[in-house]
Amino acid sequence: MRRVVDVQVPVALDQAYSYVVPDGMDLQPGDVICVPLGPRDVTAVVWAENPSPNPRLDNRLKDVARKLDVPPLKPELRSFVDWMAGYTLTPRGTVLRMTLRMGEQLGPERVRLGVRMVGPKPQRMTPARARVIALLADGFAHPKGEAAEQAGVSPGVIDGLVDEGTLETVVLAAEPVARPPDPDFKPPDLYESQIAGAQMLRDSIAKGGYSVSLIDGVTGSGKTEVYFEGVAETIRAGRQTMILMPEIALTGAFLERFTARFGVKPAEWHSQLTPRKRARTWSAVAAGEVPVVVGARSALFLPYKNLGLIVVDEEHDQAYKQEDGARYHARDMAVVRGHIAQVPVVLCSATPSVETEVNARKGRYQRIALPQRFGGQHLPSIEAIDLKAEGPPRNRFIAPRLAEAVKIAIERGEQALLFLNRRGYAPLTLCNKCGFRLSCPNCDAWLVDHRFRRRLVCHHCGFSKPLPDACPKCEATETFVPCGPGVERLEEEVRVLFPAARIMVLSSDLIATVEHMREELAQIEQGHVDIIVGTQLVAKGHNFPKLNLVGIVDADLGLANGDPRATERTFQLLHQVVGRAGREAGRGHGFLQTHQPEHPVMKALIAQDRAAFYDAEIELRERTGYPPFGRLASLLVSAGDKHDAERYARQLAGIAPSHEDVRVLGPAEAPLAVVRGRYRFRILVKSPRAFDMSGYLRDWLSQAPKTKGTLKLEIDVDPQSFL
């Protein structure tokens, strides 16, 4: 009798395929294997034993090609893959693929060569040779490349000394992915609330099992130090910690703090790792050799051998929602993963998401409160600048009162931050003769002027072109004018207002790599910059010691789209940005330039009344049945042809199973009606909280007609974006 196993392959499929286990191969569920799939071999995972394979398929089943030499995926990770696939309606193979991102071939270690002094000095001495000999006089083996670099010689000089018998070549042990952090390397002196918070975390860890804690502390209160105590406890217990960050490019300062506390850097996991580093990190995590991993949302899918703690820093951050491929919220999935693995989860924020705040208020999550800043620093005071009454001069964007405050700040040798959440020079360019507006040929969107790149760019599809010489409509030349500001235009104004100041613009499109970003942030931290002009990149978790003044250039920007989360996001973003001010010395101060100083979000920010904001927002969500008091799902239908998209969307809505608790809204043309040449229609499904939305959608979609041609249906459970 042949043995057959069901294998999940990492392609967009839900069902497993059966393969024959060749004689002599020992396979268990979870084993990582190679199987033939169509013309190629793919890395896949044994999902289950198949005790009674369909006899009709018997002769057509292929053999498992080989078993990879890596630890099997644990039941806990396989359950997580199953759960997430079911909840988000993503094919299981697509989710599985995210756990197998170790690179195609793990391959053997690359050999690292070193050199060591063994023989007498060479006959012929040169200054270069002398430098190498001085360096290696310690008798230890040095990596060859490093030795050449440190001695300031070419590798040829070293080879020459090997030929002469002065040095010998040795094979060095592979460098570990991460050296073990020392939980007792340099514990800080925690202050009172931190001590209490750390104790609560240690208790949760000691008790074992699943729990969720929210470290709810104002900006600058030292939340990181508190969860570091949880990390230390987990290291002592010999278990692994996963720390999720919304934006891995922003973790430079975090890595330094980790190193200061634990003596070494943690392992990193993100998309910019080299394939080799990726493969080695994956294996080391699976082997349990990596005690702490800090990563972007994809770190959720690593095969931890002995997971003991999950931390989600800045848990409210929108970047945790993945919007393409598998649509999932990494914070929510972290909680699920913690539940399946039965380990404590720590969420961390100064402005928790409404979902998390409700869970904390209802006692489902334990709240660890840090209501004061570390070192007794005050929170910044905030005032509004009413743009209707005291706005800037025409075609300028900085009101006189804000400009005056910036002037005073830099005269005092402090830093100022001007925040505008808009990349580029101007969001719109129009012809001032005929009114023609330059728009994207593929999308329902204006082209954004990016002067630094000398191009007009579509922020939805990436289309770009230079500014045309003449207006395409009236053929007039030199009539184009920019409308509204982006950070590049703001920079121009700042240069005019403060010609002597050192200015830095921080915007994601101006920054090529993680390393580059880290350097820029370090420049600011070290005080080499007077005025920072930035987009939301600057909002996230930095500590700029000399920054005391923050000006929000357009506080109303995020409120403009009628999205159900607009107020929450605006509150969080502005609170976080202003929270960059006054963290170490002096008193921070924030200005909000707004047309609506009476808006509840502005009033809550100015009054520093966080509770008032949450009270009002929670009450509204409860009354209207929006999350977390109800559930939402979005179905996006798109096609190259508008009628095709609309017809299919109507058809789909027409066959929605009727259920007294469920409301199916739409289809309606999406607010962004065309993207990349595709016409878009949205259906929104709304249900009570205690309702199996995923099951409902599955029933519905099993009846849906096949999408043909350019038609595409995208499902988003718990959507964050409604565009």
| Closer CB to ligand ADP, 222 or 427, in the complex | 222
User: Can residue 442 be called a binding residue for Zn ion (CB under 5 A)?
Assistant: yes
What's the closest the beta carbon of residue 438 comes to Zn ion, in angstroms? 12
- From the list 216, 225, 233, 568, which residue makes contact with ligand ADP (rule: CB under 6 A)? 225
- Closest-CB residue for ligand ADP? 222
Q: How many residues bind Zn ion (CB under 5 A)?
A: 7
Per partner kind, with CB cut-offs from 5 to 8 A, the member of ligand ADP, Zn ion, none near residue 187 is none
- From the list 25, 68, 130, 461, which residue makes contact with Zn ion (rule: CB under 5 A)? 461
Q: How many residues bind ligand ADP (CB under 6 A)?
A: 15
- Residue recorded with tokens 């920010």: 605
Stretch that binds Zn ion, among 291-299, 460-468, 545-553, 589-597 (CB under 5 A): 460-468
User: Can residue 439 be called a binding residue for Zn ion (CB under 5 A)?
Assistant: no
Q: Which two tokens mark 238?
A: 């010999």
User: Can residue 188 be called a binding residue for ligand ADP (CB under 6 A)?
Assistant: yes
- From the list 221, 283, 634, 638, which residue makes contact with ligand ADP (rule: CB under 6 A)? 221
- From the list 458, 549, 652, 683, which residue makes contact with Zn ion (rule: CB under 5 A)? 458
| Closer CB to ligand ADP, 43 or 224, in the complex | 224
Stretch that binds Zn ion, among 14-22, 190-198, 381-389, 462-470 (CB under 5 A): 462-470
User: Can residue 259 be called a binding residue for ligand ADP (CB under 6 A)?
Assistant: no
Tell me, residue by residue from 191 to 210, as one string, x for binding to ligand ADP by CB under 6 A and - for no binding: x--x----------------
Within a 13 Å sphere around the CA of 368, how many CA atoms are in the beta-carbon half? 31
- From the list 132, 147, 190, 279, which residue makes contact with ligand ADP (rule: CB under 6 A)? 190
- From the list 217, 303, 427, 719, which residue makes contact with ligand ADP (rule: CB under 6 A)? 217
Per partner kind, with CB cut-offs from 5 to 8 A, the member of ligand ADP, Zn ion, none near residue 225 is ligand ADP
Closest CA to 582 of 256, 218, 194: 218
Is the C-alpha dihedral spanning 307, 308, 314, 317 positive or negative?
A: positive
User: Can residue 228 be called a binding residue for ligand ADP (CB under 6 A)?
Assistant: no
Alpha carbons 261 and 403: distance in angstroms, whole number: 40
What's the closest the beta carbon of residue 221 comes to ligand ADP, in angstroms? 4
Radius of gyration of the chain (CA): 29
User: Can residue 588 be called a binding residue for ligand ADP (CB under 6 A)?
Assistant: no
What's the closest the beta carbon of residue 197 comes to ligand ADP, in angstroms? 11
Closest CA to 8 of 88, 76, 73, 103: 73
Percentages helix, strand, coil for the chain, rounded to the nearest 5? Answer: 35, 25, 40
Alpha carbons 80 and 715: distance in angstroms, whole number: 20
- In single-letter form, the type of residue at position 506 comes to L
Phi, psi (rounded to 5 degrees) for 405: -65, -40
Alpha carbons 366 and 555: distance in angstroms, whole number: 33
Cβ distance 347 to 216 under 8 Å? no
Number of residues written out for the chain: 723
User: Can residue 543 be called a binding residue for ligand ADP (CB under 6 A)?
Assistant: yes
What's the closest the beta carbon of residue 449 comes to Zn ion, in angstroms? 14
What's the closest the beta carbon of residue 677 comes to Zn ion, in angstroms? 8
| Closer CB to Zn ion, 156 or 468, in the complex | 468
Q: What is the DSSP string of 98-148?
A: HHT-S-S---PPPPEEEEEE-SPPPSS--HHHHHHHHHGGG---EEHHHHH
Closest CA to 217 of 347, 383, 321, 311: 347
What's the closest the beta carbon of residue 312 comes to ligand ADP, in angstroms? 13
- Residue recorded with tokens 């009054």: 607
What is the per-residue burial (b if ≥16 Cβ within 10 Å, else e) of 37-55? beeeebbbbbbeebeebee
User: Can residue 443 be called a binding residue for Zn ion (CB under 5 A)?
Assistant: yes
Give the binding site for ligand ADP (CB under 6 A): 188-191, 194, 217, 219-225, 374, 543
Give the binding site for Zn ion (CB under 5 A): 440, 442-443, 458, 460-461, 463
